[in-house]
Amino acid sequence: MKYILVTGGVISGIGKGIIASSVGLILKSCGLHVTAIKIDPYINIDAGTFSPYEHGEVFVLDDGGEVDLDLGNYERFLDIRLTRDNNLTTGKIYQSVINKERRGDYLGKTVQVVPHITDAIQEWVVKQAKISVDDDGVEPQVCVIELGGTVGDIESMPFIEAFRQFQFKVKRDNFCNIHVSLVPQPSATGEQKTKPTQNSVRELRGLGLSPDLIMCRCATPLENAVKEKISMFCHVEPTQVICVADVSSIYRVPLLLEEQGVVGYICQRLDLPIEMRARKMLTKWKEMSDRSDRLLEHVSIALVGKYTKFSDSYASVIKALEHSALAINHKLEIKFIDSADLEPNTLQEEPVKYHEAWQKLCSADGVLVPGGFGVRGTEGKIQAISWARKKKKPFLDANSTEFHPESKHPVVIDMPEHNPGQMGGTMRLGKRRTIFKSNTSILRKLYGDAEYVDERHRHRFEVNPELKHHFEERGFHFVGQDVEGERMEVIELDDHAYFVGVQYHPEFTSRPIKPSPPYFGLLLAAAGKLQSYLQKGCRLSPRDTYSDRSDSSSPDSEIAELKF
């Protein structure tokens, strides 16, 4: 097993997740099996109880794991299926060590950070790296490990020490460190500054890890003199200093790394047995990036939610919309609308904000209402949904929200699994099966006329099944239900271009080259192409082919050709 540790310096949120995913992708394009682990040094057991404003969205895995959004990047870039143990937190490590101590596993010894916590970290990484994440069940050959936060944080010290020891345990040929740092360019001088990177690398080396590659995040490409200066002061060759400048799309990052010889360096450094041949997968990736840069037609979607001030709160939703827009060759414009701004109270208190919000909603080609928790903003979401229904605007409701528990006529009710006394991990989580009950369902056709689909869930509430007949009498049809037929999973409205609500989160399984069907349907309807798409047997017209140079004409046939 080869291990690649990705650390970060200077500031957090610098793009370590995208860089780790991109490194994994270019190695996977060489025919290697790649897995990924994200380490978060916070004390929470998992990301399940976080507000989206803390670390962005909570990403949900097949096994119900509530994890950091970077695992979503790994899954999308590498087209893999991870498990909850691919996200390691300080809380998980301490919990496992304390449980061992309570059982008497340490035979009366004093339990300490070194060696007990550091050993537990190393054992976790070794064990998790061997677990297959591909459909073929093959054990991975490379494990990319991203250490969250920045070097020097008190909370990440045990992890840095664990990897200092780990590099000697697994031997030099099996371990390398990529350090991601910031090269700021103050507007006053316009000069690229290397001192933050020098200090960051010095601190990392002082803790016992010496970076093999220094990836410099910068606004504009690194000048040669700056590269040589970093090389001289950071104890690496100039070829080991990689420029990761801002690019038009994150899909360009793997291509940027490939151009600078990252694959060649890693293969030589880790003695990886691969051929340096032309890689079809990266050619597809480049084609997709080029196409995203030259799109001419536009489509706008109003995203009506509660956490719109921080776009990472809806990271997977935004990515799913982008994947679908790219598939129909349209440039996506997302209009973020705080649902509370659509409510009558805002009209009284802040009329300008109220009218601006409604103007955004009215000018959009389609409406999307993602999931949210709590009462705040719920009325605004309902107003947006009602408007989309009456005005025949394409609409997708990806998951439900909570309402008043005291209601005498509850439309949305608490689920039996929900334990109100405890918040973490008590929802209906993970991959669950939805059975289609109708042959004429639009969503069923978009899923390739499948009898059932397996999608990921994260909710505490559900539609009251006793009210099912009231909805259906008025043209609302529950076309998808759970295996027992007790839970309502998909709703569609008669006499409407596209009015769909789903209980699950389809965005979690969307991929750049295989968009999620509910989102794909929304974008097709918003662009006025859904009916012709359905009439042609769910195939795009030659003008909208998914790939400029491909003979195939649908995302599904493209992905079949792209089996990684």
Least confident of 131-135, 280-284, 296-300, 525-529: 280-284
**In angstroms, rounded to a whole number, what is the distance separating the alpha carbons of residues 70 and 146?**
9
Q: Produce one character per residue of 298-315: b if its CB has 16 or more CB atoms within 10 Å, e if not.
A: ebbbbbbbbbbebebbbb
Say if residue 561's pLDDT is above 70.
no
90 CB-contact burial (10 Å; exposed 0-12 / middle 13-18 / buried 19+):
buried
pLDDT of residue 213: 95
208-240 pLDDT tens trace:
999 999 999 999 999 999 999 999 999 999 999
| C-beta neighbour count of 93 within 10 angstroms | 23
Q: What is the reported pTM?
A: 0.88
- 197-201 — which CB contacts under 8 Å span 24+ positions? 197/9, 197/10, 197/230, 197/234, 198/230, 198/233, 198/234, 199/9, 200/9, 200/10, 200/150, 200/151, 200/152, 201/9, 201/233, 201/234, 201/235
- Top pLDDT among 141 and 378 is at 141
User: What's the rounded mean pLDDT across residues 421-441?
Assistant: 77
Beta strands, E only, 53-141: 59-60, 66-67, 87-89
Residues sharing a CB contact under 8 Å with residue 503, sequence separation 6 or more, in sequence order: 399, 400, 457, 459, 462, 463, 487, 488, 489, 490
- Computed over every residue of the chain, the mean pLDDT equals 86
Q: Produce one character per residue of 387-396: b if its CB has 16 or more CB atoms within 10 Å, e if not.
A: bbeeeebbbb
Which of 282, 308, 477, 290 lies closest to 377 in space, CA to CA? 308
Find out whether 186 and 149 touch, Cβ atoms under 8 Å.
no
Which of 284, 280, 248, 277 lies closest to 549 in space, CA to CA? 284
Least confident of 76-90, 114-128, 211-225, 395-409: 395-409
Structure confidence at residue 555 as a pLDDT band (50, 70, 90): very low
Query: For residue 311, what are the CA distances in angstroms to 305, 319, 331, 518?
Result: 11, 11, 18, 21
Say if residue 540's pLDDT is above 90.
no
User: What's the rounded mean pLDDT across residues 497-508?
Assistant: 90
Say if residue 184's pLDDT is above 70.
yes
37 sits in which H/E element: strand 34-40
User: What's the rounded mean pLDDT across residues 493-518?
Assistant: 90
417 CB-contact burial (10 Å; exposed 0-12 / middle 13-18 / buried 19+):
exposed
72-87 pLDDT tens trace:
999 999 999 999 999 9
Structure confidence at residue 18 as a pLDDT band (50, 70, 90): very high
Which of 4, 79, 30 lies closest to 264 in space, CA to CA? 30
Q: Report the percent of the chain where pLDDT is more than 90.
A: 49
159 sits in which H/E element: helix 157-169
Residues sharing a CB contact under 8 Å with residue 517, sequence separation 6 or more, in sequence order: 443, 446, 447, 448, 506
- Top pLDDT among 374 and 105 is at 105
DSSP 101-112: HHHTTTTTPPP-
What torsion do the CA atoms of 449, 451, 456, 461 make, to the nearest 10 degrees?
Answer: 110
The two tokens of residue 491 are 């709703």
pLDDT of residue 366: 92
143-153 pLDDT tens trace:
999 999 899 88
pLDDT of residue 161: 96
Rg (CA), the chain: 25
pLDDT of residue 402: 45
pLDDT of residue 52: 81
